[in-house]
Amino acid sequence: MLSKDTIIVIIDYGMGNLNNVKNSFNKIGFNPIITNDFHKIEKATHLILPGVGGFKDAMKELKNKDLIQPIKDAISNHEFVSFLGICLGMQLLFESSEEFGVTEGLGILKGKVIKFNENFVPIIPHIGWNDINIKKNEIKEFKNIKNNSFFYFLHSYYCKPDDGAITAASCCYYETFAACVKKDNIFACQFHPEKSHDAGLTLLKNFVS
145 Rama class: left (phi>0) / alpha (psi -120 to 50) / beta = beta
In contact, 21 and 11? CB cutoff 8 Å? no
In contact, 183 and 82? CB cutoff 8 Å? no
Contacts of 3 (CB under 8 A, 6+ apart): none
| Residue 87 known to be catalytic | yes
Q: How many beta carbons lie within 10 A of that of residue 121, not counting itself?
A: 15
Question: Which position among 61, 159, 194, 197 bears the catalytic label?
Answer: 194
Q: CA 49 to CA 39: how far, in whole Å? A: 16
Question: Which position among 46, 87, 99, 126 bears the catalytic label?
Answer: 87
Helix (H, G, I), strand (E, B) or coil at 175: strand
| Residue 95 known to be catalytic | no
| Residue 192 known to be catalytic | yes
Please identify every residue annotated as catalytic: 87, 192, 194
